[in-house]
Amino acid sequence: MDNMENLIFDIAWDDEANVWYTEETPIPGVVAEANTIDELQKKLSVIISEISDISLESSDFNKSKSAPVPYVIKSIQMTQMKSV
């Protein structure tokens, strides 16, 4: 895992739902939303950890040698122009 690249999550703001959500993810099927970026980051950390644990359980790797999976949240906020 020393040379592992960061997983990059593109997130966006949904004005109607008032939440941040994962717009594009490197892991198929990963969908998350939260009221703040911090909350979304916590949710993604749990999801990534769970996926990593499942992957390690189904492989020959020794689970005690596992390290946190590096990831990056790339913020993309869509803002609307207010007319004056």
CATH of the domain at 17: 3.30.2390
Domain membership of residue 2 (yes or no) is no
Mean pLDDT per 10-residue interval, the chain, length 84 residues: 68 92 89 94 89 62 53 60 44
Number of structural domains found in the chain? 1
For residues 13 and 40, give the distance between their C-alpha atoms in angstroms, rounded to a whole number: 11
- Residue 68's domain comprises 7-76
82 in a structural domain: no
pLDDT computed for residue 4 by the predictor: 53
Does the pTM surpass 0.75? The reply is no
